[in-house]
Amino acid sequence: MSNAMTTRQARSFRFDAEGPTTQIHWCPVFSPGSLGVRVYPNAANVFVARTKVRGKTRIRKIGAVAEFTKMAEVYAATRAVLVGLIGEREITVEDIANDYLRYFERKGKSATAKYHVKTRLKRDILPTLGKRKACSITKAEIIDFHAEISARAPYEANRMVQLLKAMYNIALEMARLPPTFANPAAVQAKFLNIEHSRDRRVEEHEIGALLDAIHAEENPYIRALFLLLMHTGMRLHTEALALTWSQVDLKARMIRLPDPKNRQPHRIPLTDDAVTILSGLPRLRGCEWVFPGRNPAKPLNNPYKPWRKILQRAGITGLKPHDLRRSYASWMINDGISLEVVGQMLNHKSIQTTRKVYAQVSDESAREAADKLSKVVPLSRRAVR
């Protein structure tokens, strides 16, 4: 069942005479597996709630389907029954995180969005707050948690609070928490870090040193990975590291990605240099990944340590792997390629994204423009004559 259950649908379920004695249709929206409709031979369908108490499964009747006209009423009644079974304070942050992940999957979010949500949960939120009771978390604790993350990653700290806020909102919507409970992650903007659009890219005077440092890398996969990013502008985690050989067509000089950020098939044209980079990679028998990890059954997942070594060799600071994507776009725009074409190559849903984030002229181009202006507006009146 892929869509949210309705009361009409709950009334329409019929008992299968050839099926098991106990027949329950589970609702996919309300914490999947905890709310269902039990059907009987006499068509007297009832809503039931299911949960585990000290390792044992418990199922309780909520009420006859005919008694409810809206699913919101069912959700509220279900929560009341669950609270009676497990206690209101038994619901943990990990529970509402799992609910949110299931909701996220059903919404068909992009691979990039899923990667960031799962990473933030696994790296910071669950180790710190996962075992805590969801209703015990206070706004002051969220602010302290934000400050702790801010010490190493200010922008990421903001994303963490936004994720917690979304998790609690879904939990409240599912009636997993009391309707009067105030979302502790709904903090005022003044407690968040001020953000500025990142504009770092590989400057023209850095290109040579960076290429030399990449070519000096001994690992052929690491070397090819960063060269490919510079030649294609691919996203690191959800596109390059997730790339399989079945998505690469060297003869057609094309990469075809089925599930990129905007959930639309994305075709990435390959230059001659990009084809050379991929053609030179060792291919492991039985391994589908273009950039395999130490375990060939899994892709490479943490190229940041070798990236830092590459930057040290090149004498470059403050450059992140994603900045190669920004650089790729800037190089094309500075070379006269239209925003529409650049946006299409980067698979941007809107040209506004391309214009806002990537359409930045280089210092050299800006100086050329300024020099042209100086010819129109000279330094002195004498120069006009």
pLDDT digits (tens, 9 = 90+) for 350-369: 766 666 655 554 455 545 54
Per-residue confidence band for 263, with pLDDT thresholds at 50, 70 and 90: low
Q: What does the block give as tokens for 186?
A: 């709904």
The 10s digit of each residue's pLDDT in 9-31 is 999 999 998 889 899 998 876 66
Whether pLDDT at 145 is above 90: yes
Enter the DSSP assignment of 189. G
Provide the mean pLDDT of the chain: 83
Give the three-state DSSP class for 97. Answer: helix
Per-residue confidence band for 376, with pLDDT thresholds at 50, 70 and 90: very low
Rounded CA gap, 358 and 329, in Å?
Answer: 6
Q: What does the block give as tokens for 341?
A: 């074409």
Per-residue confidence band for 139, with pLDDT thresholds at 50, 70 and 90: very high
> Kind and range of the H or E element at 46?
strand 46-53
Whether pLDDT at 374 is above 50: no
pTM assigned to the model: 0.58
Whether pLDDT at 171 is above 90: no
Whether pLDDT at 1 is above 80: no
What average pLDDT does this structure show over 253-270? 76
Rounded CA gap, 171 and 169, in Å?
Answer: 5
Whether pLDDT at 257 is above 90: no
Per-residue confidence band for 88, with pLDDT thresholds at 50, 70 and 90: very low
- Residue 368's pLDDT is 57
Whether pLDDT at 178 is above 80: no
What average pLDDT does this structure show over 87-99? 79
Per-residue confidence band for 206, with pLDDT thresholds at 50, 70 and 90: very high
- Residue 200's pLDDT is 84
- Residue 328's pLDDT is 86
What average pLDDT does this structure show over 50-79? 83
User: What does each C-alpha distance from 106 to 26, 72, 92, 331 come to in angstroms?
Assistant: 15, 19, 22, 38
- Residue 274's pLDDT is 92
- Residue 149's pLDDT is 92
- Residue 347's pLDDT is 73
| 102-106, 152-156, 210-214, 326-330: segment of lowest average pLDDT | 102-106
- Residue 56's pLDDT is 76
Rounded CA gap, 385 and 383, in Å?
Answer: 5
- Residue 2's pLDDT is 44
**φ/ψ of residue 263, rounded to 5:** 60, 30
What average pLDDT does this structure show over 237-249? 92
| 128-142, 173-187, 209-223, 300-314: segment of lowest average pLDDT | 173-187
- Residue 252's pLDDT is 92
Residue with the bigger pLDDT between 79 and 260: it is 79
**Tokens 């190493």 belong to residue:** 152
- Edge-to-edge strand list for the sheet holding 266-269: 248-249, 254-257, 266-269
- Residue 122's pLDDT is 93
Which domains does the chain possess?
7-86 (3.30.160), 93-191 (1.10.150.130), 204-328+344-349 (1.10.443.10)
DSSP letters, 83-94, are HHHH-GGG-BHH
- Residue 384's pLDDT is 46
The 10s digit of each residue's pLDDT in 303-326 is 999 999 999 999 999 999 989 988
Question: Checking phi first, is residue 57 left (phi over 0); if not, alpha (psi -120 to 50) or beta?
Answer: beta
Percent of the chain exceeding pLDDT 70 equals 83
Question: Checking phi first, is residue 202 left (phi over 0); if not, alpha (psi -120 to 50) or beta?
Answer: beta
Whether pLDDT at 106 is above 50: yes
**Tokens 């790339």 belong to residue:** 243
